[in-house]
Amino acid sequence: MRGVAAHILSLLVRQGSTMAVAESLTGGLIGATMTVPMGASAAFRGGVVAYATDLKASLLDVPSGLLDREGAVHPDVAAAMAAGVRAVTKSDYGLAVTGVAGPDPQDGKPVGTVHIAVCGPGDRLWHRDLSLTGDREKIRRETCEEALGLLRGVLEANLGEHSG
Amino acid sequence: MRGVAAHILSLLVRQGSTMAVAESLTGGLIGATMTVPMGASAAFRGGVVAYATDLKASLLDVPSGLLDREGAVHPDVAAAMAAGVRAVTKSDYGLAVTGVAGPDPQDGKPVGTVHIAVCGPGDRLWHRDLSLTGDREKIRRETCEEALGLLRGVLEANLGEHSG
């Protein structure tokens, strides 16, 4: 995954943009991966690990009503986390993940349910919703891979727009 | 490191306590490690990745004057990060790390300079200051190990006090 992280950092630097992460089930794995390459500080600002549901509201401004109604594992929660971390860290892109790593279901959602969101300039949103299989470690690792893959795709598309 | 993480979680659960992390050079590695064991949510609440220096002030309430005066790599910054993450996440223990992973020095501090702090009940503080050697990956991994080692020692000592 460090290859993808380095690629994302170079795309961000080329665009003069920055990013931050909001993580739930991965607990910090995406941020740890993004900071493996040297020089990560040129584009990676940091983020929030909102593992407990109430921290999604208090640290990332996810609406409490949404969390009460849908639980923590929902596409709208991922979107709100991405927008929230973008705002609180004053970054150009926010990347967020929420889901169920297992071994037990959460908020009525089966193990492997994962929602990923990117929030970019102009509050534009991109989504990816997954049903992963395997154990806790595999689900967390694949969530990290898919999240970085989504952000890379967004940045590559934007680069195309900007140079077009 | 997952063995230490599981041990810390069990010590916290036994004490009815919770924890959160504030990470700089590790970028999320400590949180990722703490959430490897199943059932981590019983004691691990989340945290803040304050990779960019200004996020240490805006998200963790580290005094800007301290950051201006000493830079981001200083024992007092680690202590303020630990107290800050404990407060903003409403956790019983805050564990914080700041340091220089390299390859370049930062704020006049050589590569391998690392400061770790734990802030616990009653704002009690514990410190560990290190001069690590090796490459970026080794420094980040050893920072994570030393940080978890400090917290484990604090929790074991507290357990002794409580049972004494």
Q: Average model confidence (pLDDT) for chain B?
A: 96
CB contact under 8 A, A48 and B52: no
Distance CA(B42)–CA(A63), nearest Å, equals 23
Instruction: Give me the mean pLDDT over the A98-113 stretch.
Output: 95
Tokens 């920072």 locate to B143
The answer to whether B97 faces chain A, any CB pair under 8 Å, is no
Homologous superfamily (CATH) for B2-154: CinA-like (3.90.950.20)
pLDDT digits (tens, 9 = 90+) for B15-37: 999 999 999 999 999 999 999 99
Q: What is the pLDDT of residue B155?
A: 97
At B164, the pLDDT band (50, 70, 90 cuts) reads very low
B138: closest CA of chain A, how far (Å): 11
Instruction: Give me the mean pLDDT over the B131-151 stretch.
Output: 98
Distance CA(A10)–CA(A39), nearest Å, equals 10
Q: Which residue did the predictor score with more confidence, A1 or A47? A: A47
CB contact under 8 A, B32 and A36: no
The pairing of strands B93-99 and B19-23 is parallel
pLDDT digits (tens, 9 = 90+) for A15-25: 999 999 999 99
C-alpha radius of gyration, chain B, whole number: 15
- Does residue A163 carry a pLDDT above 80? no
Q: What is the pLDDT of residue A159?
A: 74
- Cis (ω within 30 of 0) for the bond into B103? yes
At B163, the pLDDT band (50, 70, 90 cuts) reads low
A2-156, CATH topology level:
Maf protein (3.90.950)
pLDDT digits (tens, 9 = 90+) for A53-82: 999 999 999 999 999 999 999 999 999 999
**Which residue of chain B comes nearest to A103, CA vs CA?**
B38
B67: closest CA of chain A, how far (Å): 16
The answer to whether B102 faces chain A, any CB pair under 8 Å, is yes
* Residues 6+ away with beta carbon under 8 Å from A28: A49, B21, B23, B27, B28, B29, B30, B31, B32, B33, B34, B35, B47, B49
A32, A33, A40: which is closest to A9 by C-alpha? A40
Chain B residues close to A59, C-beta within 8 Å = 46, 48, 59, 88-89
ipTM: 0.96
Chain A residues close to B25, C-beta within 8 Å = 35
Size of interface A-B (CB pairs under 8 A): 124
Chain A residues close to B90, C-beta within 8 Å = 58
